[in-house]
Structure 1
Amino acid sequence: MSAEREGAAPSPRLIVVSGMSGSGKSIALHTFEDLDFYCVDNLPAELLPEFVRGAIGKSDLPPKLAVGIDVRSRNTDLSNLPTLLSQAGALGMDPKLVFFDASDGVLLKRYAETRRRHPLSHLGLTLNEAIALERRMLKPLRAMADILIDTSDTNVHQMRRRVIAELDLTSERPVSLLFESFAYRRGVPSDADFVFDARCLPNPHWDARLRPLSGRDREVREYLDAQPEVGEYVAQVSSFLDTWMPRIQADTRSYITVAFGCTGGKHRSVYLAETFAAHARDHGWREVATYHRELE
């Protein structure tokens, strides 16, 4: 399994997410949250420097902050945002304004599909009128944006990839790997991305000495290590995962679950989950865990 790319220590970052309602700002903030940013949506713009000041110094790591500021900030003069961003920069942050947009036709369609109210509908405007007013109000922010992302022709997954690429966040995206063992008689885990059946392998259950033990125990591991079929199985599954897990990582996934099942979920599946977790750690994956459903 190819390792996640190790980058330099992250610098302090402040990303201000703004743009048209329905253009994908919430998806962007969820993406940043998956990248370990501390996210706040609908922050009154005038509170931005105070928010940054409060976040600095509360962690041993440089802060990574993402804030949603848009027309929902009532009684706020958005034209002051450049000054507020400068104040945040003076506190040691690297502020970036990312503006999300989409065509009026796409926004109308999205509102029709979700049936959500436009944030300016309280003014008694039609949806068309609210979109037009919002576009006028946000025109100065759009003009000053560091990054402009038009989501008219993108789906959710494409949007996440675009956010990560535009902001060069690939090296900051941790992917958590979970290797899980289970018993088929209790069903396949519903959250598994990959499921491998180990029932074809020699079963330690039939050895009275090994029956009380689990795949975590040295005696069981030595028994399975000595079986040629197990070595062949591990080699072929390793080749498969080495090829495909990095590609799933590149598809903006934040976690991957690989499940191994056997009859009782005690010996073979546990052995394999532990074996592949060790393999992943040896190949540089940083966030690796195991879960043995029938032993927990």
Structure 2
Amino acid sequence: MKQLIIVTGLSGSGKSIALRALEDSGYYCIDNLPATMLPSLSDHLTTVHHHLVAISIDSRSAAIESLPDNIALLKSQNVDTRVLYLESNVETLVKRFSETRRKHPLSKDTTTLAESIAYERELLGNLGSLGHVIDTSNLSANTLRGWVKDVVSSEHAGLTLLFTSFGFKHGIPLDADFVFDVRCLPNPHYDPNLRELTGKDEQIKAYLEVHDSVQEMLSDIRAFVEKWLPCFIMDNRGYLTVAIGCTGGQHRSVYMVEQLSQYFQSQQKVLTRHRELK
């Protein structure tokens, strides 16, 4: 079966980087394909020797609103079609456009950059619900490339459970389906001997595991995910993203994500991300 990945999302969110990462992973890539050409893409795919194809579609494409119907058509034609939607917060997008001195593709003489970004977000509507969303806010290019490769290297059938740690002081991930706040738990940051470590280190694990509140919180989150996971599987979701946040995203949230990933990996495909760890 041919496999097609459609990369879309906000301008400046990293679509070109994602497409290059897919090319490095063996995909035949087509940049900025008009959405109107999607219905005829199935016939083209049968004539090429590439089984892995990736295309990018942006908000300037004609008939972008028809993308969901065209994706459904491709799937009915036995093309394994996946959507990768890249998102980012306004502050990051404004900074990127300012640094590169590029003009936003939807900008006009009468609109500001922030207004153009808001209009594009509205124009793309619910396209993120068609597939896997990656929030690229404050991500380096290397990190984004790694995340994209992780997504495409995972099994393509069924649901992938994605656990991500983050720091609230850097903002809540835009791609999270569920967000859990663990800032109420004991914080290793206040111990000078533990401050530079992370939730992956044995000393941090030992510090957190002796506190009943930590184990109770971990048990409650695990039970919640375990209870509702079957509903998302029945809904034919490709990914379910569970975000765990503490203050800086270095100790408590990392520990929680590591423990949850270890627990669920025996029963589900699992990906793990630590947004604030370099």
- TM-score category (smaller protein): 0.5 to 0.7
Structure 1 residue 57 corresponds to structure 2 residue 47: yes
For the 8 Å contact 1:17–1:69, the answer to whether it is kept is yes
Deviation at 1:14? 0.7
Identity over aligned residues, as a percent?
37
Determine which of 62, 68, 75 is the counterpart of 2:56: 68
Match for residue 223 of structure 1? none
Cα deviation digits, residues 21-72 of structure 1 (max 9, x gap): 010100000111112211112111110121232121322x5x2111111212
Q: Distance in 1 between matches of 2:152 and 2:130?
A: 13
Aligned to 2:153: 168
Name which of 14, 24, 36 aligns with 1:46.
Answer: 36
Q: Do the aligned partners of 2:2 and 2:45 also contact (CA within 8 Å) in 1?
A: no
- What is the aligned counterpart of 2:141 among 152, 156, 166? 156
Instruction: Give 5+ residue unaligned stretches, structure 2.
Output: 156-278
1:58-114 per-position Cα deviation (integer Å, ceiling 9, x unaligned): 22x5x21111112121xx232211110122122321111111001100000001111
Deviations 1:149-169 (A, max 9, x none): 001131011101101112326
Residues 216-295 of structure 1 mapped to structure 2, 5 A cutoff: none
CA distance in 2 between counterparts of 1:114 and 1:169 reads: 33
Q: Secondary structure of 1:167's partner?
A: helix
Letter in 2 for 1:69: I
Higher RCO (C-alpha under 8 Å, 6+ residues apart) = 1
Amino acid at match of 2:48: K
C-alpha distance after superposition, 1:161-194 (max 9, x if no partner): 1011123269xxxxxxxxxxxxxxxxxxxxxxxx
Asked whether the 8 Å contact 1:14–1:65 carries over to 2, the reply is yes
CA shift, 1:146, in A, is 1.3
Tell me, yes or no, if structure 1 residue 83 matches structure 2 residue 69: yes
The CA distance in 1 between the partners of 2:67 and 2:27, in whole Å, is 21
Aligned length: 156
Backbone CA RMSD of aligned residues: 2.0
Residues 77 and 123 (structure 1 numbering): CA distance in 2 closer, same or farther, change over 3 Å? farther
Secondary structure, aligned partner of 2:153:
coil
| 1:20–1:135 contact (8 Å) kept in structure 2 | yes
Are residue 115 (structure 1) and residue 101 (structure 2) matched? Answer: yes
| Residues 1:132 and 2:118 are matched in the alignment | yes
Report which of the two structures shows the higher radius of gyration computed on alpha carbons: 1
Of 24, 27, 30 in structure 1, the residue corresponding to residue 17 of structure 2 is 27
Using the alignment, how far apart are the partners of 1:93 and 1:123 within structure 2?
42
One-letter identity of the residue aligned with 1:145: L
In the alignment, which residue of structure 2 is the partner of 1:267? none
Match of 1:249 in 2: none
Q: Secondary structure at the match of 2:126?
A: helix
Residues 115-168 of structure 1, C-alpha deviations (whole Å, 9 max, x = no match): 1111101464211110010011112212x2310000113101110110111232
Pair 29,158 (structure 1): closer, same or farther in 2 beyond 3 Å: same
CA distance in 1, matches of 2:21, 2:147: 10
**Pair 1:13-2:3 in alignment:** yes
Aligned residue type for 2:9 = G
Q: What SS does the aligned partner of 1:96 have?
A: strand
Q: Corresponding residue for 2:130?
A: 145
TM-score by length of 1: 0.50
